[in-house]
Structure 1
Amino acid sequence: MSQTSPSQDLLSARETCRLLGISPATLYAYVSRGLLESRPGPDHRSRLYLRQDVERLAQRQRAGRGEARGAAQSLDRGLPVLETRISLIHPDDGPYYRGRSAIALVREGATLEEAARLLWDCGEDDPFDAPVPAAWPATVAPIAGDATLPPLERAMAAFPLLALEERHSLNAATRTRHRVAATLLRQNAALLVARSPATAPVHALLANAWAPRDAGFEDLVRAALVLCADHELNVSAFAARVVASTGAHLHATVCSGLAALSGPRHGGATARAYALIGDALQSASPREAIASRWQRGDDLPGFRHALYPHGDPRAAELLVRLRDCAPDAAKMDALDALVAATEEISGQRPNIDFVLAAICHAHALPATPALVMFAAGRLAGWLAHALEQQAQGGLIRPRARYAGAAPMPE
């Protein structure tokens, strides 16, 4: 018999096994592989499972073999749909950029610009060696300098106008396109913090906007940007590739990536993780706050990643670095205790969204810089996918399997 909570429909292990047609042993295997999540039952010995997750998995099992099934699964972390040379996600080591570990790049001191050159396959060419105009065009200046606008909306409003100023926006020459991409990377960072474009490294521009003259924080931002630079065919990268496949200029692909990132299930996850941290740390017992949330069937923003069943390596790397430069040891201890309690209660480990939010909490910043770091870094990957898609050619135009009402007879 199913059991319910105020916020979610939860199923017992027996009913879950019945709906999926599996044994308890297989159910436990599904949980260990990250295909299903379990929650503590009312007697603290039994386990409960989210009905929506069980039904989604059952639907996949019922789907027939062949082309239709593969296409449907591919749209939700399923089968590969595109060939790329840009990045590889390894479940234990995190992303690799053209065969180079992103975590190793961070430890070697790489900047976002250097990661971008690798992702764009620039070779010996350095598209960042050209200066960036120090002032915004007159058509863009009122928007670019308006700090009252949200960062993503400010950037999305400015880029179409900047495209009108770029005479090489549709130039197909590889080096020219790399230089346009380099300008976009710098302009995007400046737009996100309402500053003027600069030739300084992106991490320096951002860190100076939030915590000037803090070398440890600046290096932490550098690491975060490199680890956010690309993550294979995520939602925003796919959106950028679709737009790029039409032959649109790079400014348009950047806008599509920013638009996809603005959703609460993608870039908005940093704000939800920030709120979770704040609510937990302000409660009388952070541990009980997490346990209560988990018992109700609520999700834990900033924890678990479907592609990293043993924990997000990017988050682990950033947490080590955050501990080394956190200005308030007591606050860092509280964040570490929150991570430990959440893993003990739910079995879930922090992902990149949590650590970006934790960086903001540790340095007494609002939630916005977490999203800005994500957007500033990930733009390098969007541009890589756009460049690769247009070099490969071809229009991305999948087909839909119609499931609506039958056509009416004339």
Structure 2
Amino acid sequence: MHPDPTRTDLLSARDTCEILGINQATLYAYVSRGLLESRPGPDHRSRLYSRQDVERLAQRKQAGRGAARGAAQSLDRGLPVLETRISLIRPDGPYYRGKSAIAAVHDGATLEDIARLLWDCGEQDPFAVEIDPHWPATVAAIAGDARLPPLERAMSAIPLLALEVRHSFNSAPRVRHEIAATLLRHNAALLVSQAPFAGPVHRLLAQCWRPDDEVFAELVRAALVVCADHELNVSAFAARVVASTGAHLHGTVCSGLAALSGPRHGGATARAHALIADAGEAPSVRDFIATRWQRGDDLPGFGHALYPHGDPRAAEILARLRETQTDSPMMSRLEEIIAVAEEISGQRPNIDLLLASICQVHGLPATPALVMFAAGRLAGWLAHALEQQALGRLIRPRASYTGVTPSLEE
């Protein structure tokens, strides 16, 4: 193979800029940052650049664009960015360590059963540890103040509860599981402004909202189980990032609660609750849904990017409501809303709508829907925190800078 006689190993600034797709100011910035080396030209005023270095840099830039694009897409339900053994999302719903969440509901699993599975406790039962039924003096006033919103009450008290945990940084799995179990119970009690409770979380919540209603308690149990984890959702990822710093489990839980407080995450249950109420009060459910859809408004509680054919978690809760609320006028209205929304938008209900529906059908405000979500999902946050800290690695992604380019004078 003969060498190309037109090819030279040195390129002019103009040719270099053309290959790299940059202007001369950027070229000079590359040189100042050490990305390229320049050499004197034949007239001692121009500069030349190694073709090999330029082509190598061009390849790096192209790869970088692809990596940056892939990373950006990964941050919004795109390519996987972390490995986990905790949960898998499939068309038929989430799987917790290989076991179907929907099947677990049918088998009568409690949130505590699911927590043991997600935390990989094996034969250990961290919930067998005794729990003090009284709040420490440092949090008693906050924990008992029912005027505070649930998430804010929990986020205020949990950091103070951490001060009471002697072994919060202990790395032994058994100790960490016991801390997690107590924290799961404390969080649930804080969300409903009750004293710490040693029984199942679903019974604590159900007794607060509809005392001695076994059918309702079963609905709450099912909701907690299907909400326990959903892979790297926003709040789980936030908790995982914080856990990667080595922060104690109480700190990771607070980060999850903070993420959940946003209107595009946990706040979706309140918006779904409002949609059901507004549609029910409208003269025509069809006209109400159609008008919203035609003017470009979303339908809170409908559609899910990871379940294009319908959210199986929602389908499970809806089936249970249908079994227990056959004569309920509110249930009939809900059925109409669901049918019309699917006909007009093509979207099916997601778990946010069904958490809100549990409340609407039972005459409850929107808050219990968010509480069920937060109480259940805490099991998953703790699982991700435990897994991340066992890896012992910091999560520290890089950003692609798109701001003002520094001037050469600086």
- What TM-score, normalized to structure 1? 0.84
Give the residue type in structure 1 aligned to 2:337.
L
CA distance in 2, matches of 1:272, 1:242: 28
Partner of 1:78: 78
Q: Are residues 1:150 and 2:174 paired?
A: no
Partner of 2:110: 111
CA distance in 2, matches of 1:322, 1:168: 43
**Equivalent residues in 2 for 1:86-235, closer than 5 Å:** 86-90=86-90, 92-235=91-234
CA distance in 1, matches of 2:129, 2:310: 40
Deviation of the 1:328 alpha carbon: 5.3
Partner of 1:60: none
Deviation of the 1:167 alpha carbon: 0.5
Deviation of the 1:65 alpha carbon: 5.9
Deviation of the 1:407 alpha carbon: 0.6
Q: Secondary structure at the match of 2:182?
A: helix
CA distance in 2, matches of 1:366, 1:77: 31
CA distance in 1, matches of 2:249, 2:82: 20
CA distance in 2, matches of 1:230, 1:119: 9
CA distance in 1, matches of 2:329, 2:255: 41
Deviation of the 1:131 alpha carbon: 1.6
Give the residue type in structure 2 aligned to 1:213.
D
Report the more deviating stretch, 115-124 or 326-335: 326-335
Partner of 2:57: none
Question: For the Cα contact (< 8 Å) 1:327–1:362, is it kept in 2?
Answer: no
Q: Secondary structure at the match of 1:95?
A: strand
Question: For the Cα contact (< 8 Å) 1:217–1:325, is it kept in 2?
Answer: no
**Number of aligned pairs?**
348
Q: Secondary structure at the match of 1:96?
A: strand
Deviation of the 1:85 alpha carbon: 0.2
Partner of 2:35: none
CA distance in 1, matches of 2:130, 2:374: 22
Question: For the Cα contact (< 8 Å) 1:190–1:197, is it kept in 2?
Answer: yes
Give the residue type in structure 2 aligned to 1:85.
R
Give the residue type in structure 1 aligned to 2:154.
A
Deviation of the 1:66 alpha carbon: 2.5
Question: For the Cα contact (< 8 Å) 1:237–1:257, is it kept in 2?
Answer: yes
Deviation of the 1:325 alpha carbon: 2.3
Deviation of the 1:68 alpha carbon: 1.2
CA distance in 2, matches of 1:118, 1:325: 29
Q: Percent identity?
A: 75
1:167-190 Cα deviation digits (max 9, x unpaired)? 111110000000000000000000
CA distance in 2, matches of 1:248, 1:327: 48
Partner of 1:318: 317
Partner of 2:259: 260
Partner of 1:338: 337
CA distance in 1, matches of 2:66, 2:128: 50
1:318-341 Cα deviation digits (max 9, x unpaired)? 001112223852211110111011
List, as ranges, runs of 4+ consecutive aligned residues in structure 1 with deviation greater than 3 Å.
none
Give the residue type in structure 2 aligned to 1:237.
A
Question: For the Cα contact (< 8 Å) 1:328–1:362, is it kept in 2?
Answer: no
Distance 1:330 1:85, change over 3 A: same
Q: Secondary structure at the match of 1:66?
A: helix
Q: Secondary structure at the match of 1:165?
A: coil
CA distance in 1, matches of 2:296, 2:192: 37
Distance 1:64 1:269, change over 3 A: same
Question: For the Cα contact (< 8 Å) 1:304–1:348, is it kept in 2?
Answer: yes
Give the residue type in structure 2 aligned to 1:69.
R
CA distance in 2, matches of 1:327, 1:117: 35
1:332-353 Cα deviation digits (max 9, x unpaired)? 1110111011101110000000
Question: For the Cα contact (< 8 Å) 1:326–1:363, is it kept in 2?
Answer: no
1:110-140 Cα deviation digits (max 9, x unpaired)? 0000000000000111000112110000010
Question: For the Cα contact (< 8 Å) 1:327–1:363, is it kept in 2?
Answer: no
Q: Secondary structure at the match of 2:95?
A: strand
Question: For the Cα contact (< 8 Å) 1:88–1:95, is it kept in 2?
Answer: yes
CA distance in 2, matches of 1:337, 1:214: 26
Report which of the two structures shows the higher radius of gyration computed on alpha carbons.
2
Q: Are residues 1:239 and 2:242 paired?
A: no
Give the residue type in structure 2 aligned to 1:98.
R
Question: For the Cα contact (< 8 Å) 1:94–1:314, is it kept in 2?
Answer: yes
Q: Identify unmatched segments of 5+ residues in structure 1.
A: 1-62
CA distance in 2, matches of 1:132, 1:376: 17
Distance 1:279 1:293, change over 3 A: same
Question: For the Cα contact (< 8 Å) 1:257–1:382, is it kept in 2?
Answer: yes
CA distance in 2, matches of 1:110, 1:294: 38
Partner of 1:294: 293
CA distance in 1, matches of 2:208, 2:322: 22
Give the residue type in structure 2 aligned to 1:274.
H
Deviation of the 1:69 alpha carbon: 1.4
Partner of 1:283: 282
Give the residue type in structure 1 aligned to 2:332.
D
Q: Identify unmatched segments of 5+ residues in structure 2.
A: 1-62
CA distance in 1, matches of 2:134, 2:178: 18
1:49-103 Cα deviation digits (max 9, x unpaired)? xxxxxxxxxxxxxx9863111111111111100000000000x211000000000
